[in-house]
Amino acid sequence: MDNLLFTQELQTYLGERISREPAVRDQHGVGFSYHECQPPDAVVYPQTTEEIAEIVKICAKYGVPIIPFGAGTSIEGHVLALRGGVCIDLSLMNQIMEVNQADMYVTVQAGVTRNQLDGLLEGSGFFFPIGPGVNATLGGMASTRASGTNAVRYGTMKDNVISLTVVLPDGKIIKTASKAKKSSAGYDLTRLFVGAEGTLGVISELTLKLHSEPETIYAAVCPFPSVEAAVNTAIKTIQKGVPIAKIELLDDQMMRAINRYSSLDYQEVPTLFLEFGGTAAEVEAQILAVQQFAQEFGAEDFVWEKDEANRKKLWRARTDAAPAALALRPGSKLMSTDVCVPISRLAQCIVETQLDIQQTRILAPILGHVGDGNFHLTILIDPDDFESFERAKALNERLVRRALAMEGTCTGEHGVGVGKLAYMALEHEGALDVMRAIKQSIDPNNLMNPGKLLPAG
Amino acid sequence: MDNLLFTQELQTYLGERISREPAVRDQHGVGFSYHECQPPDAVVYPQTTEEIAEIVKICAKYGVPIIPFGAGTSIEGHVLALRGGVCIDLSLMNQIMEVNQADMYVTVQAGVTRNQLDGLLEGSGFFFPIGPGVNATLGGMASTRASGTNAVRYGTMKDNVISLTVVLPDGKIIKTASKAKKSSAGYDLTRLFVGAEGTLGVISELTLKLHSEPETIYAAVCPFPSVEAAVNTAIKTIQKGVPIAKIELLDDQMMRAINRYSSLDYQEVPTLFLEFGGTAAEVEAQILAVQQFAQEFGAEDFVWEKDEANRKKLWRARTDAAPAALALRPGSKLMSTDVCVPISRLAQCIVETQLDIQQTRILAPILGHVGDGNFHLTILIDPDDFESFERAKALNERLVRRALAMEGTCTGEHGVGVGKLAYMALEHEGALDVMRAIKQSIDPNNLMNPGKLLPAG
């Protein structure tokens, strides 16, 4: 970036839509995480795919790294400018380009946020199911293969992207697929760019699947005598094919946190938060089935919420779990773990981890997308206590190794960024070389979000 | 293959499990299609992933092409030995390695067939939903990204493979993913090898998702006054979120064919074959909803089948559509088209194609996986009439161009093989270069099923 010709060329092309202000750069050098800020040299604000392509061409010509940036909500250091370079902020690319109700898809620019899309779809009878806990952009969600509480029924971003427009590292623009619902026409480039964390190109537009809103939505809360009982209820629900919309586990610590934060008085024991969708008759049948499973595993209390306001209040408490956990010890930094294991191993994985947490003398409430086998520790770290940070990292490492030994993954939905780099070889072994070969073939000069996803070879 | 050292090395390693018999080679040089047989130089029969790896290493050492072979049921010439080489027949790799009911997956060797897996799962309460019209191997189905009649509810192979074991072109063995239900840990290698048609490596083992069998399954048949009416009923069914299990369109010609072939007396008009699954109450609600949509679009007759024997008879007629079509003119060869378009364009695409068929003076009954926008012409070709073959090819090309103009794809589920090579550039434009780069990076010597999927550069 010290190359004057480069700076001039970029400035000439972008006019006002480039910033080198330290405050702006600092904002763009860190996500929602404990990672240290590493600011880019400049931040640019394209408005179209073609502008991104031009920016990428200029960067490629001068060998300058490129970091795509959505809402800055990723939590594994995905946006850190490890080698400096240009941050492409996609916030001006916030146009919804087509809503096609007949074909049940929407095409958006990559900077459109989850909330913006929700707002647009409200009242249409359709919705987009993927919702991480924050107001991320859809480009960012695709790049990290995000999911959230609806994944148990609707899958993750990989299942809900029909096609992408991508700017490649040489500035060429491609579409990864047609708008057909399925295709066998060659390699699945859509799924290659979903989850690639900006290391293979910049996602500039997305065509996403819409789903019909269920006629009726009910929620329920069910406290359990143990984590095993709660998880076994979830396993049986999935096995019996109940098309449950959400099934979330909060452990005793997390229940304590949300009670305090949201002035609630739930029992402070392992608890499932559930959501059911369908016709009224379907939903009632689903609830009766799950209630019976819960009772089999020793649950005594099973509270349904039919009322929309109460249901939203209940899920608000769940959504606020991260700030609620943080409020247990104000001033803390948050480290979120993200392992995912086959569901039959989940109870054991959580119980062993709870024991580990106790022995480590760390505060780490747990919540889990239990229908998928995915759970998060929200580890609270004292930023002034280096040793607590080291203890948290060691706890996370033991957790990842535990999950991998159970045929699981180090990250169910947050992505690798820099935070999970250390586990990639352990998880993938020889397959990591295939990933490296792909990276090398598409981005031979390693300019696209360098240092993320793939550990140094 | 004229290299004596190579032949000796392979023979020494495999003993009896190698054949150079002309009849065996000929069997392995053609699938279920109109393509001319191109036999491999030898056929080998490994029993384990490690044996495949050893075979691949020997081939790689001598630069000999490798063609993976499942049941030989692909229809786009996927198994043609265009440059000679060794055909790896996976039929001895027919072990079911693990059935995990708690985690709802099964791990199989790649040569296990669809029917074999069905037989194993019978009575377990679980099933595997992907079923092409033939008894293909699961490795082959993954390689072509197959789907079939259940895709409207359960997705395609891409949605139902959890993890693959793959032998790479250098003989290394990798696993593409853990057994977790979801992961954000790096590039999605599973989805890269699904649909790669053996051009990036040999799939040797698969871990597949199981689904719970619905409590109740009903079927229905509904004749319509027009293709548009039938397709509009399908669109509304999907839009309203009815979780229909199957929704298949047969045109008047195809209804004539199945009436004759299966001694039935359905009306010879555009007809939907439907299947519904769930609890009895859910299924009845679904049927009432779809029946109402059908009536809105002018259907007068809507026959449910609750009885299992009758239901199976009905679907047997649908499954026999290809032989039924062939029986309209015995001795014909079959060319199957496979376009898939956004569902809102489907009626127009079919109607224009029917007109084209009439004008081309060709016999080509139509059936469609209408919930996905995918339909097939079963074009009957007189093998002694070269000109009828040329007319069929031209018809298919016009159909593909029509589908691409509607933002569709040239192949919804059959794959590219050699039969769709000519349309890859038209469909993918610049994205084809990304596919080529990936192929080059993983199989730099172009030994894995050469000449398939990617047109010459």
Residues B57 and B140 in one domain: no
Identify which of B193, B151, B172 has the alpha carbon closest to the alpha carbon of residue B49: B172
User: Which residues sit opposite B222 in a β-bridge?
Assistant: B272
**Mean pLDDT over residues A226-254, rounded?**
94
Residues B120 and B181 in one domain: yes
Q: Please say if the pLDDT value at position B365 is more than 90.
A: yes
In this complex, do B424 and A185 lie within 8 Å of one another by their Cβ atoms?
A: yes
The helices-and-strands tally (H runs, E runs) of chain B is 17, 18
Confirm whether A428 is domain-assigned.
Answer: no
Domains contained in chain B, number: 4
- Cα(B293)–Cα(A368) distance, integer angstroms: 40
DSSP-derived 3-state class of residue A287? helix
Predicted confidence band at A244 (pLDDT cuts at 50, 70, 90)? Answer: very high
- CATH assignment of the domain containing B139: 3.30.465.10
- CATH assignment of the domain containing A335: 3.30.70.2740
Residues A68 and A11 in one domain: yes
Confirm whether B444 is domain-assigned.
Answer: no
- Cα(B40)–Cα(B27) distance, integer angstroms: 10
Residues B182 and B225 in one domain: no
CB-CB contact of B396 with B339 (8 Å): no
In this complex, do B180 and A340 lie within 8 Å of one another by their Cβ atoms?
A: yes
ipTM of the assembly? Answer: 0.97
Domain with A49, as residue range(s), is 4-91
Please report residues of B whose CB lies closer than 8 A to that of A181: 340, 342-343, 372-374
Confirm whether B430 is domain-assigned.
Answer: no
Query: Per-residue DSSP letters for B130-171?
Result: -B-SS--BHHHHHHTT--BTTHHHH--HHHHEEEEEEE-TTS
Please report residues of B whose CB lies closer than 8 A to that of A186: 195, 416, 424, 428, 432, 435, 453-454
Identify which of B212, B60, B195, B199 has the alpha carbon closest to the alpha carbon of residue B140: B195
In this complex, do A453 and B424 lie within 8 Å of one another by their Cβ atoms?
A: no
- Cα(B250)–Cα(B257) distance, integer angstroms: 10
Cα A208 to Cα A47, A184, A422, A428, B150, distances in angstroms: 20, 19, 32, 29, 22
Residues B127 and B201 in one domain: yes
Q: What angle do CA B152, A99, B245 make, to 5 degrees?
A: 10
Chain B, nearest residue to A282 by Cα: B282
Chain A, nearest residue to B422 by Cα: A185
Q: What are the E-state strand segments in A91-215?
A: 96-100, 105-109, 126-127, 161-167, 173-175, 202-209, 211-212
Chain B, nearest residue to A146 by Cα: B184
If you count residue pairs, one on A and one on B, with CB atoms under 8 Å apart, how many are there? 275
* pLDDT value at residue B2: 65
In this complex, do A151 and B179 lie within 8 Å of one another by their Cβ atoms?
A: no
Q: Please say if the pLDDT value at position A1 is more than 60.
A: no
Chain A, nearest residue to B141 by Cα: A184
**Mean pLDDT over residues A35-51, rounded?**
97
In this complex, do A411 and B184 lie within 8 Å of one another by their Cβ atoms?
A: yes
Point out the residue among B184, B239, B440 whose CB comes nearest to the CB of A414.
B184
The distance of B129 to chain A (nearest Cα, Å) reads 14
In this complex, do A427 and B185 lie within 8 Å of one another by their Cβ atoms?
A: yes
- CATH assignment of the domain containing B233: 3.30.70.2190
Question: How far is the first Cα of chain A from the last one, in angstroms, to the nearest whole number?
Answer: 26
Residue that has been written with the tokens 């919540």 in this structure: A367
Identify which of A245, A217, A234 has the alpha carbon closest to the alpha carbon of residue A290: A234
Confirm whether A430 is domain-assigned.
Answer: no
pLDDT tens digits for range B278-310: 988 889 989 999 999 999 999 989 888 888 888
Confirm whether A193 is domain-assigned.
Answer: yes
Residues A237 and A318 in one domain: yes
Residues B72 and B110 in one domain: no
pLDDT tens digits for range A58-90: 999 999 999 999 999 999 999 999 999 999 999
Cα B12 to Cα B2, B6, B7, B127, distances in angstroms: 16, 10, 8, 41
The residues, ordered by sequence, that sit 6+ positions from B118 with a Cβ below 8 Å of its Cβ are B127, B128
How far, in whole angstroms, is CA A247 from its chain's centroid?
17
The distance of A434 to chain B (nearest Cα, Å) reads 7
Interface test with B, best of A153, A184, A292 (most B CBs within 10 A): A184
Point out the residue among A147, A180, A239 whose CB comes nearest to the CB of B408.
A180
In this complex, do B178 and A147 lie within 8 Å of one another by their Cβ atoms?
A: no
Torsion from C-alpha of A141, A143, A144, A148, nearest 10 degrees: 20
* pLDDT value at residue B1: 57
* pLDDT value at residue B386: 87
Residues A101 and A202 in one domain: yes
The residues, ordered by sequence, that sit 6+ positions from B41 with a Cβ below 8 Å of its Cβ are B1, B20, B25, B64, B81, B84, B85, B86
Identify which of B27, B44, B59 has the alpha carbon closest to the alpha carbon of residue B90: B44
Confirm whether B455 is domain-assigned.
Answer: no
- Cα(A235)–Cα(A254) distance, integer angstroms: 21
Please report residues of A whose CB lies closer than 8 A to that of B189: 431, 434-435
Q: Please say if the pLDDT value at position A271 is more than 90.
A: yes
Element holding B272 (H helix, E strand): strand B271-278
Please report residues of A whose CB lies closer than 8 A to that of B159: 155, 159
The residues, ordered by sequence, that sit 6+ positions from A195 with a Cβ below 8 Å of its Cβ are A142, A143, A144, A145, A157, A158, A415, B184, B186, B187, B188
**Mean pLDDT over residues A414-437, rounded?**
98
* pLDDT value at residue A2: 65
Confirm whether B437 is domain-assigned.
Answer: no
* pLDDT value at residue B282: 87
Share of chain A above pLDDT 70, in %: 100
- Cα(A456)–Cα(A452) distance, integer angstroms: 9
* pLDDT value at residue A4: 87
In this complex, do A146 and B239 lie within 8 Å of one another by their Cβ atoms?
A: no
Chain A, nearest residue to B280 by Cα: A282
Residues B178 and B202 in one domain: yes
Question: How far is the first Cα of chain B from the last one, in angstroms, to the nearest whole number?
Answer: 26
CB-CB contact of A339 with A409 (8 Å): yes
Question: Residues for chain B: how many in total?
Answer: 457
Which class for B387: exposed (0-12), middle (13-18), buried (19 or more C-beta within 10 A)? exposed
Domain boundary among A186, A212, A238: A212
pLDDT tens digits for range B129-168: 998 889 999 999 999 999 999 999 999 999 999 999 999 9
Q: Torsions phi, psi of B415, nearest 5?
A: 95, 180
Identify which of B81, B110, B85 has the alpha carbon closest to the alpha carbon of residue B96: B110
CB-CB contact of A229 with A297 (8 Å): yes
Residues A290 and A206 in one domain: no
Domain boundary among B323, B342, B366: B323
pTM of this prediction? 0.97
Interface test with A, best of B154, B187, B292, B369 (most A CBs within 10 A): B187
Confirm whether A433 is domain-assigned.
Answer: no
CB-CB contact of B409 with A178 (8 Å): yes
- CATH assignment of the domain containing A85: 3.30.43.10
CB-CB contact of B18 with B8 (8 Å): no
Chain A, nearest residue to B340 by Cα: A180
Buried/exposed B107-134: b ≥16 CB within 10 Å, e otherwise: bbbbbbbbebbeebbeeeebbbbbbbbb
User: Which residues sit opposite B333 in a β-bridge?
Assistant: B381
In this complex, do A412 and B155 lie within 8 Å of one another by their Cβ atoms?
A: no
Residue A372 DSSP class = T
Q: What angle do CA B199, B200, B203 make, to 5 degrees?
A: 95
Chain A, nearest residue to B342 by Cα: A180
Point out the residue among A213, A411, A441 whose CB comes nearest to the CB of B185.
A411
The residues, ordered by sequence, that sit 6+ positions from A249 with a Cβ below 8 Å of its Cβ are A227, A230, A231, A234, A270, A271, A272, A350, A366, A367, A368, A370, A375
pLDDT tens digits for range B61-114: 999 999 999 999 999 999 999 999 999 999 999 999 999 999 999 999 999 999
Identify which of B423, B437, B386, B412 has the alpha carbon closest to the alpha carbon of residue B146: B412
Q: What angle do CA B231, B233, B238 make, to 5 degrees?
A: 95
The distance of A376 to chain B (nearest Cα, Å) reads 13
- Cα(B13)–Cα(B3) distance, integer angstroms: 16
The distance of A386 to chain B (nearest Cα, Å) reads 28
In this complex, do A159 and B156 lie within 8 Å of one another by their Cβ atoms?
A: no
Identify which of A269, A260, A232 has the alpha carbon closest to the alpha carbon of residue A354: A269
Residue that has been written with the tokens 């080509």 in this structure: B364
Residue that has been written with the tokens 């009911």 in this structure: B101
Q: What are the E-state strand segments in A102-226?
A: 105-109, 126-127, 161-167, 173-175, 202-209, 211-212, 216-223
Please report residues of A whose CB lies closer than 8 A to that of B243: 243
Residue B214 DSSP class = P
Residues B235 and B267 in one domain: yes
The distance of B19 to chain A (nearest Cα, Å) reads 31
Point out the residue among B183, B187, B416 whose CB comes nearest to the CB of A409.
B183
- Cα(B132)–Cα(A348) distance, integer angstroms: 39
CB-CB contact of A195 with B169 (8 Å): no
Question: How many C-beta neighbours within 10 Å does residue B433 have?
Answer: 17
Residues B140 and B126 in one domain: yes
Domain boundary among B175, B195, B212: B212
Point out the residue among A103, A145, A415 whose CB comes nearest to the CB of B344.
A103
CB-CB contact of B242 with B290 (8 Å): yes
Chain B, nearest residue to A102 by Cα: B344
The distance of B406 to chain A (nearest Cα, Å) reads 9
**Mean pLDDT over residues A398-422, rounded?**
98
Q: Please say if the pLDDT value at position B19 is more than 70.
A: yes
* pLDDT value at residue A162: 98
CB-CB contact of A229 with A270 (8 Å): yes
The distance of A261 to chain B (nearest Cα, Å) reads 30
Please report residues of A whose CB lies closer than 8 A to that of B188: 145, 158, 188, 191-192, 194-195
The distance of B247 to chain A (nearest Cα, Å) reads 15
* pLDDT value at residue A126: 96
Tally the C-alpha atoms within 13 A of residue A268's C-alpha that lie toward its C-beta.
10
pLDDT tens digits for range A133-169: 899 999 999 999 999 999 999 999 999 999 999 999 9
In this complex, do B407 and A179 lie within 8 Å of one another by their Cβ atoms?
A: yes
Whole-number mean pLDDT of chain A? 95
Buried/exposed A178-216: b ≥16 CB within 10 Å, e otherwise: bbbbbbbbbbbbbbbbbbbbbbbbbbbbbbbbbbbbbee
